[in-house]
Structure 1
């Protein structure tokens, strides 16, 4: 490990020390107990195995039954779910780690089968091209299925969802989390409000940039009221175009969001970089523009390796780097990166659903050796 390496240097997030700048990115794994979408001891072992990260961000976790869009994903709205998550935070803390819960409302990225036949909700009833992972109850087999055109939320319903985010943050803190990360990226509900392609409203939540940002601001305020601003974070995806999310005004909208988040004093801003083939470039100009608006900790994610991570930290564009799939197959990823050890390959067939195979059975380096 280089003496000048920033990736392995200590830092502080949400007023708490972390031992390195390596974050375990949120990754849907669809392994909660059914019925009830309850986290289990298997989930606790999985996260505790990865506690050497500077901190962990959990898989996306629905704030309410309405917020669900994928089979077997966990929630944070029932007493059983809170108790289940407490086993996870206890295990991670016992292993010396830090862990944030990602708060999730999928909006239109859902299916009527999750809502007793009712349509998913969204800012506007706009058709779009999107799919979610759903298990067929007759066969027990999961597959990607198309999302229908959603129905538009009323203003009263929007206020109710803001309150749901606040309750979910309160539940997360009761479950022992070190903080919460609001999922405002990847085409889910908050992202849907930000973009002209998915938000065609003509009321206080649509039209102007200020109106399209209103829902994000209200959610951040509601969550910060329960968790504290310093323990509140948000994930945004500036360059996303998939799922019908291409929007000509999204970059200036997110820069305005960054100014608000700076003023609000949140714990960190998490930026998702488009990581598919032929994706738009995450430009240095935009990185500089975000940093000019937001002086707090910035986390970046998107197919990073050690070299790219050191580059983005050295430029000051980010303070921490999140790793996703490499953390699945390499529970001791910080050590492997620090010592330039080989990375184990990922079994992509076991990402969603199933048991401990391809989940908690990936060995640490010393076991593999």
Structure 2
């Protein structure tokens, strides 16, 4: 008999009360004096409403550079991370579990694409696995991106892995229940895995098994410093890449990486389809027309993308046509992985309701996650666990303003009206 969403599930010896999790999102809380309160406000409602697991979104393991978007939280400083115990206590009081997702943006960092950030930090260079590929260097010459990368030496790769380990140690000491590596969405872990980015000639480059080595070293650093804690990673398949990109991770590669992760000692994997670029393959759905045309954000768009920001908006419109919404778009990849591994497989991306979840559990995956729908309904688990579906319309109007540092919230009137109606009916009580 297939498991149900309300059934418990074990990840690395930790029992989750059910199989619904809040997928990693940009909380945009930073690491200032109000960061902990902002994170509690953002994440506690999901725990109150019954989510079995909450992944706090990508946090940066170094004190300089590496942020892929404005407002990301840094977790390199143990004195700051210790303050997050208030958050982990708040989540635990509701019976939920919380994992911290660790990240470094590498070539996807603000120092590559955010015009204002580059002006304010002219000497800050991107960390790179290898020299940027030709397509990215062409974008640099055309003025859309700016590359002045520092290619990591072998010793520096080990030091970066140690930074992941140190941040994991601080997190576990602060009460986090586990660690999640941001292994996809074009962060530096994906850049090590991908043949598009990784053309190294040392022990971290070459064939697929050599490119997996960075994951192995990060795993070992976390185990050495943080102990035998539940450890999860995303694993990318770059199947949404443009045809011009010949060197990329296909679905078979993703399956092999997941198998290697099990062998290395990871406790669960999250297979996801994406691209070698940060694009609409990650957030499939409608073109965010309302967000791009909102005059409140225009100064922020110009600060981020420079005077050509309308060209970026046009490119986004064209790309959205290729990646329209697809229900449970990672399900088939997850199914292929689950047939080859014995550790739990987590599935997210385009999952909106209990009917879809029931069809996935036991076949494609062992637990299911939702991301953007939480922007519209912070207490969404109360309804999903009762067999209902999210009101999210996958319009993506929540995502684009985040390039300006704006909070990730739903701004679509029809969705907000429906949420208000449900709240008045008591649908979010748990």
TM-score where L is the length of structure 2: 0.71
CA distance in 2, matches of 1:4, 1:213: 33
Is the 1:8–1:21 Cα contact (8 Å) retained in structure 2?
Answer: yes
SS in 2 for 1:91: helix
SS in 2 for 1:233: strand
Shift of 1:355: 6.4
- Relative to structure 1, is the Cα distance of residues 179 and 7 closer, same or farther in structure 2, using a 3 angstrom cutoff? same
SS in 1 for 2:196: coil
* Residue 44 (structure 1) aligned with residue 40 (structure 2): yes
Q: How many residues align?
A: 348
Q: Greater CA deviation, 85-94 or 241-250?
A: 241-250
Structure 1: gaps (5+ residues): 131-144
SS in 2 for 1:196: coil
Partner in structure 2 of residue 75 of structure 1: 74
Is the 2:55–2:98 Cα contact (8 Å) retained in structure 1?
Answer: yes
Partner in structure 2 of residue 190 of structure 1: 189
- Relative to structure 1, is the Cα distance of residues 356 and 71 closer, same or farther in structure 2, using a 3 angstrom cutoff? closer
Match of 1:122 among 118, 128, 139: 128
Spell out, residue by residue over 1:274-315, the C-alpha distance to the aligned partner (whole angstroms, 9 max, x if none).
Answer: 45264597574x545422432111101111123332222142
**Per residue, is there more helix in 1 or in 2?**
2
What CA RMSD, in Å, does the superposition of the two structures yield over aligned residues? 3.3
CA distance in 2, matches of 1:208, 1:41: 45
- Relative to structure 1, is the Cα distance of residues 246 and 313 closer, same or farther in structure 2, using a 3 angstrom cutoff? farther
The 5-angstrom pairing of residues 1-369 of structure 1 reads 6-34=4-32, 39-51=35-47, 52-64=50-62, 65-112=64-111, 113=117, 117-127=123-133, 128=135, 146-148=145-147, 150-239=149-238, 241-242=240-241, 247-274=247-274, 276=284, 278-279=322-323, 282=330, 284=332, 286-306=333-353, 307-315=355-363, 317-341=364-388, 343-345=390-392, 348=398, 352=402, 353-354=405-406, 365-366=422-423, 369=426
- Relative to structure 1, is the Cα distance of residues 201 and 295 closer, same or farther in structure 2, using a 3 angstrom cutoff? same
Shift of 1:45: 2.3
Q: Greater CA deviation, 183-192 or 203-212?
A: 203-212
Shift of 1:10: 1.9
Shift of 1:240: 5.0
Shift of 1:342: 6.3
CA distance in 2, matches of 1:172, 1:12: 20
CA distance in 1, matches of 2:46, 2:401: 16
CA distance in 2, matches of 1:357, 1:301: 19
Is the 2:66–2:106 Cα contact (8 Å) retained in structure 1?
Answer: yes
Q: Greater CA deviation, 83-92 or 272-281?
A: 272-281
TM-score where L is the length of structure 1: 0.82
SS in 2 for 1:348: coil
Shift of 1:230: 4.7
Is the 1:62–1:73 Cα contact (8 Å) retained in structure 2?
Answer: yes
- Relative to structure 1, is the Cα distance of residues 350 and 320 closer, same or farther in structure 2, using a 3 angstrom cutoff? same
Shift of 1:33: 4.5
CA distance in 2, matches of 1:117, 1:205: 27
Is the 1:179–1:227 Cα contact (8 Å) retained in structure 2?
Answer: no
Structure 2: gaps (5+ residues): 112-116, 138-143, 275-282, 285-319
- Relative to structure 1, is the Cα distance of residues 355 and 235 closer, same or farther in structure 2, using a 3 angstrom cutoff? closer
Spell out, residue by residue over 1:177-230, the C-alpha distance to the aligned partner (whole angstroms, 9 max, x if none).
Answer: 000001111111010111111111222211222221111111122122233445
SS in 1 for 2:217: helix
CA distance in 1, matches of 2:84, 2:232: 19
**Per residue, is there more strand in 1 or in 2?**
1
Shift of 1:63: 0.6
